Amino acid sequence: MTVEAAPVELTVGPPAHGGHCVARHDGRVVFVRHALPGERVRARLTDARPGARFWRADAVEVLEASTDRVEQVWPEAGPGGVGGGELGHVALPAQRRWKSAVVGEQLRRVGGLDVADVPVHGCPSDTDGRGWRTRIELVADAEGRAGMHRHRSSEVVPLTTMPLAVPWMDVEGLLARRWPPGGRLSVVAPEHDRRVVLVDGVPWGERGPDTRTNARTSVREQVTVAGTEHTWRVGAAGFWQVHRDAPAVLAEAVLAALEGLGGMTLVDLYSGAGMLTRPMAVLAGAEGRVHAVEGDRRAVRDARRNLHDAQGVTLHHGPVAEVLDSGAVPSADAVVLDPPRVGAGRRVVEQVVALAPGRVVYVACDPAALARDLGYLADHGYRGAQVTAFDLFPATHHVECVAVVDRA
């Protein structure tokens, strides 16, 4: 609900976590999307409830542009459009400066850590912020047209383009088809395997549902990490990193953080299908052990297949907190955490501390959750946080971090 029908003129301030910038209107904080720091814009208020602590707005006209502004790489994600491309109007180097400032601010304000802004590194295949997604989620509208939800809305907007997807996904063909109204599409297109399309969990081919008992519902992911080629089999409906370069980038960052710990006991929490577990097992070697803990049944099924030939790996199925409470993992020389967006939380952090690892490596897709959990670790004597950030989500506000802390 808005209190003003006409756009308001705003002078835009610094970026904030969530993909918007901070401005003020009549003394009230306004979070503005589709703007850049330092710009003067006309903005349409999208959420301006009386008495609210802050308002939300979309910049719809730029009066004074930043030198970092570029043509939106995905116009359908522009003002009033779908979510998922909120920084598409920002030059790629400036996107990374934006994310660097946000990560640093969250670590300082939420985690109480004494850190400067964290540099954000790009990926080898990124040139203009397009062509990186190997996984997309779509929903069909009432006419069967594939689209996405309008930002902060349940309304489905039919799409004509999806430039963030890898070119071999053939998004144009998907968007030209008609699908079951209301159907949810999961599209997976690895670099080294054929595309899989699921509609409400059912595999689909060119002629409709594929009801064969051997219809493909999983894909092969092939990645070279630190000179070793690994292959995973992952359910198309399961979790895997969406950026084409992300598995190698993150696994190599984790291995670098674990350097010198070969032959020791390593723990991989929220291990999924084993994306980090396999490279960790290579590092641990014949004399080491790796405990992998995952709660999702489908991911564990994939992990058992992916880790069947990995030496020294024990896979534990169950919620991380419950597995650690059970004593199934008695101790660790180092712990790696790769939790969902909400983070690990105080209980799991305290359980990690109880394992007495000398080093903790935390992979995070949300800087606020990371900052909170690093603060908890600092309270238990794990200090000297070294944080590296990676731009695994160009044209969006999302950023991936790898943090390393050691026991004092």
270 is in an annotated binding site: yes
Give ∠ CA 44-47-48 in degrees, rounded to 5: 90
Contact between 253 and 121 (Cβ < 8 Å): no
Least Cα distance to 359 among 338, 341, 386 occurs for: 386
Specify whether 365 is catalytic.
Answer: yes
d(CA 276, CA 154): 35
Number of Cβ within a 10 Å radius of residue 141:
16
Least Cα distance to 38 among 83, 5, 69 occurs for: 69
Least Cα distance to 387 among 291, 253, 193, 274 occurs for: 253
338 is in an annotated binding site: yes
| DSSP structure string for 23-83 | EEETTEEEEEES--TT-EEEEEEEE--TT-SEEEEEEEEEEE--TTB---S-GGGSTTSBS
Strands 334-337 and 359-364: parallel
| DSSP structure string for 255-287 | HHHTTT-TTSEEEEES-TTTTTHHHHHHHH-TT
Candidate list 21, 123, 365, 401, residue with the active-site label: 365
Least Cα distance to 150 among 3, 23, 33 occurs for: 33
Q: What is the DSSP letter of 381?
A: T
294 is in an annotated binding site: yes
d(CA 137, CA 189): 12
For the annotated binding site, the residues are 241, 270, 294, 338
Q: Which residues are tagged catalytic? A: 365
For the annotated binding site for S-adenosyl-L-methionine, the residues are 241, 270, 294, 338
